[in-house]
Structure 1
Amino acid sequence: MAKEIERKFLVHPRKWSDLGAGLVIRQGYLCASKQSSVRVRTYGDKAYVTIKGATADIARDEYEYEIPLKDANEILVNLSEHPPIEKMRYRIVFKGHTWEVDEFTGANRGLTVAEVELKDAKEQVELPDWIDREVSGDPRYFNSNLSIKPFSSWK
């Protein structure tokens, strides 16, 4: 069984910039509940379907499979429960960990989130100075929830 263990953080606006080109991501959810989610994502010229289980602390089951890009684009347009999320992803290596920094566009514009995957939930990670605060336990920041209630609609 595949396991995803990650921590999520808000990022100080553009304190981390000047990284060069990022990669455009579009993703939509076919279903999303507390128990599981199924999403389709385009990531540059690749596409994936991902099935995730319920989050327990900072870990959850995850299964991901590559699918044809054409199929993914059709699914995003025709089958997503809500409009797809769009973001630019940057990868930053810092102190032995690769951080994925997502700068959201569209209805989630203004939100920048960094995630770091870990081998173990107790693994220590040194935080870069561009990290603001941790939001791993706040479900509002789950991508599946951002597709339902975008950042721009928060009060």
Structure 2
Amino acid sequence: MSIEIEKKFLVKSDDYKACAKPVLFRQGYLSTSIGRTVRVRRYDDKGYITVKGKTNHCTRLEYEYCIPTDDADNMLDNLCLQPIIEKVRHFLVYKGHEWIVDEFLGANKGLVVAEIELNNEKDSFEKPDWLGKEITSDVRYYNSNLVNNPYNTW
């Protein structure tokens, strides 16, 4: 069993790009039920399927498995709910913590969200200057909800 503890924030400037490594991601959802999601993800030469449980504040169960890239591509193109989430994910380290910043494309263009994964909900961390409002508990920003309610329709 795996537990994910993550906090999410809006991003107010692109200063994070100066020290980040960008990677193009495609992901789709086979299920976006309340209490569980099933996601397919493809980036670089890797494919994954992920099952996530209900979020309790910033914690939830998460199970992720590698799958063949051809299977991931086929599921994204033929089985996943539309639109597919496309984003450039930027990986960086700030003050000893790993951050990811997702710059959304397509139907969610204009949305930029930063995430930090923690070992404990009470872990402290220093916030970068480019970080905006915390949105951890705002369900509108869940990737699984951006399929049914894309950012460009808000």
TM-score, with structure 2 as normaliser: 0.97
Runs of 4+ in 1 over 3 A off after TM superposition: none
Secondary structure in structure 2 of the residue aligned to 1:116: strand
Q: Give 2:47's aligned residue.
A: 47
The 2-side partners of 1:43 and 1:3 are apart by: 22
Query: Whole-Å Cα distance in 1 between the matches of residues 34 and 131 of structure 2?
Result: 27
| Maintained 8 Å contact 2:20/2:92 | no
Residues in 1 aligned to 2:20 and 2:92: alpha-carbon distance in whole angstroms: 11
Q: What secondary structure is seen at the aligned counterpart in 2 of 1:25?
A: strand
Counterpart in the other structure of 1:131:
131
After superposition, the C-alpha distances for 1:115-155 in whole angstroms (9 at most, x for unaligned) are 0000001111110000011000000000000111110000x
Give the total of aligned pairs: 154
List alignment gaps of at least 5 residues for structure 1. Answer: none
User: Residue 71 of structure 2 aligns with which residue?
Assistant: 71
- Cα pair 1:40 1:50 within 8 Å, conserved: yes
Aligned equivalent of 1:12:
12
Instruction: Report the equivalent of 1:148.
Output: 148
The structure-2 alpha-carbon separation of the partners of 1:35 and 1:20, relative to structure 1 and needing over 3 Å to count, comes to: closer
Distance in 1 between residues matched to 2:124 and 2:21, nearest whole Å: 29
Aligned to 1:111: 111
CA distance in 1, matches of 2:71, 2:92: 30
1:28 Cα offset (Å): 0.3
Once the two structures are superposed, what CA deviation does each residue of 1:60-100 show, in whole Å capped at 9, x if it has no partner? 00000000001100000100122210000111101111000
Letter in 2 for 1:151: Y
The CA deviation at 1:15 is: 2.7
Q: Which amino acid aligns with 1:13?
A: S
- Residue of structure 2 equivalent to 1:83: 83
The CA RMSD over aligned residues, in Å, is 1.0
What letter matches 1:79 in structure 2?
Answer: L
Contact persistence 2:20–2:91 (CA under 8 A): no
Aligned twin of 1:97: 97
| Percent sequence identity over aligned pairs | 50
Structure 2: gaps spanning 5 or more residues: none
Once residues 11 and 20 of structure 1 are traced to their aligned partners in structure 2, the CA distance between those partners, rounded to angstroms, is: 14
2:139 maps to amino acid: P
- TM-score under structure 1 length normalisation: 0.96
Paired position in structure 2 for 1:38: 38
- Residues in 2 aligned to 1:89 and 1:10: alpha-carbon distance in whole angstroms: 14
